[in-house]
Structure 1
Amino acid sequence: MQIEQTVQLSQGQRTAAQALLAAVQAADGSARDPYLSNQFNVDLNMPAFFLAYVDSGLVGLVTLYADEAPGGLVDVTINVHPNWRRRGIASRLWQTAAAVLKQASYDQVEFMTEQGFLAKAPAFAAQNQLQRETEFEYQLAAPAQRPEPSDPAITVAKLQPAEISALLPAYCEAFPEVDEAEARRYLEANLHSEHNAPYVGHYQGQIIGYCGVDYGAYDYLFGLFIAARFRGQGLGQRFLAQLMVTLAHTRRRALKLGVENTNPAALHVYQKAGFQIETTVYYLTPQAGSRWGLKAD
């Protein structure tokens, strides 16, 4: 087995990764795709993808989503082809990835998994000294939309560079764990990406909300929020509806998004807009002594 690590996936690697993920999801009854870009990672020079090959075929993949500074939390996914499991591939991939994270001064990780996998392997977490966090995430999906008539009072358009400063206070209020410098870096990366775009909603000449859209076989909505002073007025529902109309005019793709179980109000809004729960995503953190942790040398 050969392990390769890279900062960004080539088109060939991305295609092979997508085929691997399709095989994993079919076997596990899962549906969450790992993010196959490093554009939001703090260190753009740190390897974020680790690929295991046997006879030139991709059999395993680890991804690192490190949008927090060193010392912060890193989201990790590990996927091994169903025909190549229980051969130490996941362990060897993680050893390689863990060495990179420790060199970059990261010491906290959480592993993303799904309800389907855990249902088929109920002893997995305990056997590997992994603790399931109490908070989890629903992934919701909606079919491709029709370009219905627009809401004349709400406009949705791509974020313009001159609007970033005006958006920052609302962004930081919506995501208090992110400081202004991190928020600006995140928005600018999204603004200049080839694979996704940031959208803002306007009402009576003011920015009321934001949503990033990752373009692909489906459109994944992320970072969606309504500014605090515009909540409770039905504008969140209207912004989402108008965003869906905007995307239907230009994209006509199925839609997906994630919402935490601690945010039932948002879940209600999404379900009213036609989204249904597709899968439940859980986070596993290593307990003391787990081989999946980042122990100090």
Structure 2
Amino acid sequence: MRTSFTFGVAAAIATVNAQLRGFNYGSTFNTGANKQQSDFEAEFTTAQGLVGASGFTSARLYTMIQGGTTNTPISAIPAAISTKTTLLLGLWASAGSAAFNNEIAALNAAISQYGTSFTDLIVGISVGSEDLYRNSPTGIINNSGVGAQPDELVSYITQVRQAIQGTGASGAVIGHVDTWTAYVNASNNALISACDFLGMDAYPYFQNTVDNDIGGSNATFFDAYDATVGAAQGKPVWVTETGWPVSGPTENLAVASIDNAQTYWKQTACSLLGNINTFWYTLQDAEPNTPSPSFGLVGGPTLSTTPLFDLTCPAGGSGAVSR
């Protein structure tokens, strides 16, 4: 690990909505069943009451569309209104232009239906999620599915800006979420230029072509973060996904375990929280089946405010980043 230093560059890389703390929330359970408003409300309430962790009052979504519908707004929105949870909205961008038009239709419908009760909760809008990664050689090798090209994403961002113009969401910052490796690829610079912020996904656990043991995971993460900041053209960088699995296969030197997940939290999460907008992966993923690997802070299919390990951060940790 590098030595700790005061986060002096915070003014340069902090976002408009500094110090957001949240989790990532999919629209379905891992059986494929669609989440309903009550499911999102239970998740958001659990996040806010997690023992040992405070301030998790934000949620990152991947789509605007309620599962099983064409373009009905996702039920996470009324759940967020009910629980006073702020939202990093997501519009899925890897299914083609017709599907993206439905994402925009759902966004516009939500603005019309819920008004300022909804728009006041928006902290940002992400156009796409790991679309560039899925089109990369690594994504193709890993069978990650169909992605989107940079020019497509730029076009989608323009469409979103036009869609929210003159609405209560007109002031929302718009960005894109992708792996750090996508941002350092210069062929994607036009997309970076079109963004107000960059959402960075980085998992040292999955970096199995390097020494990725837990002992070096914090340094590996911040190497990725620093590289993204260096490629960001001065745009704020948000951490939109990171975490360490509590169970699952070994990836090179990276061992999935509760102890290692706690180590990663103590080093990396405790460095990020309060300094950089962070959406951790994840609150719960054993819903109802346990995936492999599993990243959930809450184990098993039953929601609980008691996590699998201690989430408290060292006193005085906020304001300094351990590198």
Q: Structure 2 length normalisation: TM-score? A: 0.31
Find the structure with the greater CA-based Rg: 1
Between Structure 1 and Structure 2, the one with more strand by share is 1
Q: Structure 1 length normalisation: TM-score? A: 0.33
